[in-house]
Structure 1
Amino acid sequence: MQNILTLIAAPHNAVLTPKLTSAVRDALAMARGLVGPPDWLDPGIACDIPFDNVDVREAEKLTRAALRNAPVDVIALPTSPNRRKRALVADMESTIIRNEMLDELAYLAEIGEQVAEITRKAMNGELDFYEAIRERVSLLKGQPATLLDDAAKRIKLMPGAQALLATLKSHGVYCALVSGGFDYYTQPIAEQLGFDEQQANHMILENEAIAGIREPILGREAKLEALQRVARERGITVEDCITVGDGANDLAMLGAAGMGVAYHAKPKVQEQARINIRHGDLTALLYLQGYRADEIYGRG
């Protein structure tokens, strides 16, 4: 069939049942759709339903109504021969890790609320990213460099991050970590998880204190350029890539990739992104590509 509807629940809340998938199939059939049998990628967690004769946006709308607010992500996409992507380009903060590292630094410096509000507005597209990062770093100027290590101790990986990277790497997928944050944190996270490369901004330290940020600042355009470069260097196209992020500076790379995923994203990002994961963890990116439970590291 020409389209696939993928339903994904969080692994810790495996609420996806045959009863729910039957309700979804009935809803599509009532709209005069041709509906195939469910293909369970992971019982209780992820399922594919092939369908025809219903627009993908309408299929998503009908499915959400049939699910009756069940915490299940709904993604309908045209069937594609390159569903499994050959490269991942991922944002880091609030995506691969739970943290926003400038916020962590600010809380340690006791200016947390002030900096966090700037972060929130920048990630939701309410402030210019470049001016926002300069302002936040300027507020930290003069703080001891030891805060960088103290903040690193607070880092928590996003659920599913290790399984996502281990699974993709085992299938030969090239993985790039691109961040509007700082290489002080992207480098160790990239090494820990097995990313093939990382890029981020560089914080300037002078006299063992935070002094500024190196220009030019890497943001929205740099992330898009990284996606294009990774595809070019790997001899593939951006259609062969999957991207993931949560903030406004991720929108360009989300829109350009063959599969761009807004992950637990800011409201304005959710509005503009074609694919949203609101309930699942990062293994949702694997189910979206048709990976099955026995192919996922730590899940089978």
Structure 2
Amino acid sequence: GAEDLVQSLRALGVVPVIVSTGISQVVQRAGEILGIDLVESNHVEVIDGRITGRVDVRCGFAEKGSVIRRMAEQTSIPLDRCAAIGDAENDISMFETVPFSIAYNPKSTRVAQAATKTVVGSDLFEAREILADHFSSIRKCTQSLS
């Protein structure tokens, strides 16, 4: 599953991140479970255990691409070494920002068409293999240039 995907990517030297239009209280927990430190999502304000109704929108519906760009700058990772995986319309701007993307069980044909590859299945094994091949080829190119 997702844990295997993250571990495989880490073994290749990849820095996994989560970019979500969901709320940070849920997305941060997913990051903790997966061991992903770099997480960007929207923060719902809670004071004294009560939701105030205020939301700090850090990742709007069509803003995942700009969030990925900002995270790449912050981590000094060139965008041409980034990839994305997603399933929904709000992932399209992210797919358009990075050179390689996977639509995993895409929710529409538009999402599938926006991605470099499409994977349909009940687990992330195929997506993991595709990403591993992609990042391995980047590493080989980088090593041959140095």
TM-score range, shorter chain: 0.7 to 0.9
Q: TM-score, normalised by structure 1?
A: 0.40
Q: Distance in 2 between matches of 1:196 and 1:253?
A: 19
What residue is the counterpart of 2:133 in the other structure? 290
Instruction: Return the offset for 1:283.
Output: 2.8
Aligned match for 2:95, one of 254, 274, 297: 254
- The alignment yields a C-alpha RMSD, in angstroms, of 2.3
Gaps of 5+ in 2: 135-146
| Worse overlay, 219-228 or 254-263 | 219-228
How far off is 1:182 after superposition? 0.9
Deviation of the 1:217 alpha carbon: 5.2
- Structure 1 residue 161, shift from structure 2 partner: 0.2
Matched residue type, 2:77? I
Shift of 1:248: 1.0
- Percent identical pairs in the alignment equals 27
C-alpha contact 2:86 2:103 (8 A) present in aligned 1 = yes
Give the corresponding residue for 2:85. 244
Q: Which amino acid aligns with 1:183?
A: S
SS class of match (2:16): strand
Indicate which of 164, 187, 192 corresponds to 2:5: 164
SS at match of 1:186: helix
Separation in 1, partners of 2:49, 2:72 = 39
| Residues 100 and 115 in structure 2, CA contact (< 8 A), matched pair in contact too | no
Structure ranking higher on relative contact order (CA contacts 8 Å, 6+ apart):
1
Residue number among 10, 28, 37 corresponding to 1:187 in the alignment? 28
- The 1:182–1:231 alpha-carbon spacing in structure 2 relative to 1, beyond 3 Å, is same
Question: In 2 relative to 1, CA 285–203 (structure 1 residues): closer, same or farther, beyond 3 Å?
Answer: same
Q: Give 1:261 shift.
A: 1.1
Tell me if 1:269 matches 2:82. no
> Partners of 2:46 and 2:129 in 1: how far apart?
42
SS in 2 for 1:252: helix
Aligned 8 A contact 1:220 1:251 in 2: no
**Closer, same or farther: CA 257–216 of 1 in aligned 2, 3 Å:** same
